[in-house]
Amino acid sequence: MKKALALLLVLSMLLVMVACGNSGGNTPSSDPATAPQSQPTKPSESTNPTQGSQPSGEHTHSYNSEVTTAAACMSNGIKTYTCSCGDTYTEEIPAPGHFFSEWEIETKAFIDKDGTEKKTCSVCSTSKTKKSVANATNNSFYDAGLPHILGQGYGTLSGSSLLEYASYTFTEYADKPVAAATLFSALSERFNITDDLKASMKEWGEGRFGYDASNDTFTLHDYGISGMGSAKLVGYTHNGGNAYSAYYAYNPFDDVVVYHEVKLEYNRSNGGQNKYLSFDMIDELPSDIILPGEGE
């Protein structure tokens, strides 16, 4: 009985071994020689050494530029780029705008007449104009020669003060003989020149002011206003019509101020000369004085 069981066991083992041998063709192998091989990959375009290279003989543009329309102050220009092959394109040149000067006085302003100021473009000469009231009071009443009058007896008209005024004011007569009648006529536009004042001017003129009685001429020399003090226009009042009073602060010496009322006929805005009627020292300025405007 034992022999039969042993034989049966041996047979069972043989059957198992045969079954294992037959199933080997269905099991993946770990042998490199029998493992499935991967297919070679095609090189991508990015790895192609000739990718992106220019075919032989292809043209490369090279452009020269030229300003075909220059930019003006307020209009754009054009720059044109051209290749030797004839290909072109354009680029806009921005307009730079005007290059204006500072505002400058074109026509003087007066108390009753506006002036103008003008500025001009330095490139195209375009100009702009605006109304101006700058220096209206000074233009109307200030007279740089008046210290010669105010400094002589504090406003006294005399042969000496009138010749001092004439020497400073009438530069066209300087350093050359001028007929007495011509000089008296010029002064008469600004002062009431009486016969007594004419005689006084001739008397004073024989010394310092070159009066020559033989041909009735003066030779005026401007010695400047040093020592005459300074006079500043501080305002004016309107007395009706063309009658005005101009007020000057006169400084004969340092820290000394003397106020003068100068009554006059106002003619400057019409192109004429103011005529001075009287000079009076005053203790204080009037309450209704009109002060100079901005910029004076």
Per-residue pLDDT of the chain (296 residues; tens, 9 = 90+): 444 444 444 445 444 443 444 444 443 333 333 333 333 333 333 333 333 444 557 889 999 999 999 999 999 999 999 999 999 999 999 999 999 999 999 999 999 999 999 999 999 999 999 999 999 999 999 999 998 898 877 788 999 999 999 999 999 999 999 999 999 999 999 999 999 999 999 999 988 889 999 999 999 987 765 556 788 999 999 999 999 999 999 887 778 889 999 999 999 999 999 999 999 999 999 999 999 986 68
pLDDT of the residue at 227: 55
32 burial type by CB count under 10 A (0-12 exposed, 13-18 middle, 19+ buried): exposed
Neighbours of 99 (CB within 10 A): 12
Predicted pLDDT of residue 200: 95
Which pLDDT value is given to residue 124?
Answer: 93
- Sorted by sequence, the CB contacts under 8 Å of residue 111 that are 6+ apart come out as 136, 137, 140, 236, 269
Residue 252: the pLDDT is 79
pLDDT (0 to 100) of residue 88: 96
Distance CA 265, CA 186 (A): 16
Q: Kindly compute the dihedral angle of the four CA atoms of residues 35, 36, 37, 41, in this order, to the nearest 10 degrees.
A: -150
